[in-house]
Structure 1
Amino acid sequence: MNDFALWPVLAGTAAFFAVGALWYGVIFRQLWQRAAGLSNSQLQTGNMWLIFALTFAFEMLIAMVLWHLVARTDPPAFVVMMMAIGFAVGVMIPAIGINYLYLRKSGLLFLIDAGHFLFGMAAMGSVFVWFRG
């Protein structure tokens, strides 16, 4: 298995991005907006194409790192899932938590955003398992 493979990385990124679209666009849209303290007019500001493109790029970087680890270690499927979810729980969510403490963000916003990372990484891990299967 190559250290970098375009299709699994793109598919893993797309899975993470799709979780975000559902998470923030459908499931927790209003709750997240209130917890973030953003008005409708504030949400309409900014270049959404740029925001989405950068989000996809950051998620692709995450996918590249995870795929590299999977390719280097060639673990069984359950370990791929442990790596993906473990990365969310052990690195990403604590990093968000530290930032939110200093930014004085609410616990509710933290839980919503942490859930996004947890389920997004689980989706990415699932895609990687599928590509390796």
Structure 2
Amino acid sequence: MEINFIALFLAAIVTLVVGFIWYHPKVFGTIWMRENNFTEEDLKKGNMLKIFGLTYLFSLMIAMTIISLAVHQSGAIGMIGGPMMVEGAKPSFSAFMADYGMAFRTFKHGALHGCMAGLFLALPIVGINGLFERKSWKYILIHAGFWIVCLTLMGGIICALV
């Protein structure tokens, strides 16, 4: 199984694209600003190149992690010691990959695993942070919803294209 880096780069863009839509004032942006006590002026401050650059870098890290969640064959690769060990793997590995190498490699299947990651990883993380920060449920659900949508799309892209 070779990694399609174009798919990873594409999946990492998802957070930026969804973020532009999700946090737009006509969607959840106005509520998000109110829940954070932000003004339009507050949002104009800051180094946007740094913010978007680091967002993309972090999203790329997330995309790399989603491979192990959405692509089942990555588990088989891990069992033999990683991609560097494929050449020296036992014949049973090659037989397994010949039989199941492309099983469950669809957008739909990856989206399912991405959604599960959103529900069972992102929601609890955002929820815990929000509770300790004394944030509202609107705040928690806006952010968790964003991550559920992003991880769903990222999982789909990665599973179908990696």
- Name the structure 1 match of 2:143: 113
For the pair 1:90 / 2:92, whether they are aligned, the reply is: no
Identical positions, percent: 27
**What is the 5 A alignment of 1:45-124?**
45-69=45-69, 70=71, 71-73=73-75, 76=104, 77=106, 78-124=108-154
Inter-partner Cα distance in structure 2 for 1:23 and 1:52: 15
Q: Specify every segment of 5 or more residues in structure 1 that has no aligned partner in the other structure, as ranges.
A: none
Inter-partner Cα distance in structure 2 for 1:61 and 1:20: 17
- Name the structure 2 match of 1:12: 11
When residues 111 and 17 of structure 1 are mapped into structure 2, their CA distance, relative to the original with a 3 A threshold, is: same
TM-score (norm 1): 0.87
Q: Specify every segment of 5 or more residues in structure 2 that has no aligned partner in the other structure, as ranges.
A: 76-101
Inter-partner Cα distance in structure 1 for 2:16 and 2:48: 14
When residues 75 and 83 of structure 1 are mapped into structure 2, their CA distance, relative to the original with a 3 A threshold, is: farther
Aligned length: 131
Inter-partner Cα distance in structure 2 for 1:86 and 1:50: 30
| Greater Rg by CA | 2
Inter-partner Cα distance in structure 1 for 2:54 and 2:103: 30
- Name the structure 1 match of 2:156: 126
Which one is further off, 18-27 or 122-131? Answer: 122-131
Q: Which has the higher helix share?
A: 1
Tell me which amino acid in the other structure corresponds to 1:101. Answer: L
Inter-partner Cα distance in structure 2 for 1:68 and 1:5: 14
Per-residue deviation at 1:122? Answer: 1.4
Work out whether residues 63 and 158 of structure 2, in 8 Å CA contact, stay in contact via their aligned partners in 1.
Answer: no
Which one is further off, 24-33 or 73-82? Answer: 73-82
Which of structure 1's runs of 4+ aligned residues deviate more than 3 A? none
For the pair 1:41 / 2:41, whether they are aligned, the reply is: yes
Tell me which amino acid in the other structure corresponds to 2:58. Answer: F
**What is the 5 A alignment of 1:22-41?**
22-26=21-25, 27-41=27-41
Work out whether residues 16 and 120 of structure 1, in 8 Å CA contact, stay in contact via their aligned partners in 2.
Answer: yes
Per-residue deviation at 1:83? Answer: 1.7
Inter-partner Cα distance in structure 1 for 2:149 and 2:63: 14
Tell me which amino acid in the other structure corresponds to 1:23. Answer: W
* Structure of greater relative contact order (alpha carbons < 8 Å, 6+ residues apart): 1
Per-residue deviation at 1:15? Answer: 2.1
Inter-partner Cα distance in structure 2 for 1:16 and 1:99: 20
Work out whether residues 84 and 124 of structure 1, in 8 Å CA contact, stay in contact via their aligned partners in 2.
Answer: yes
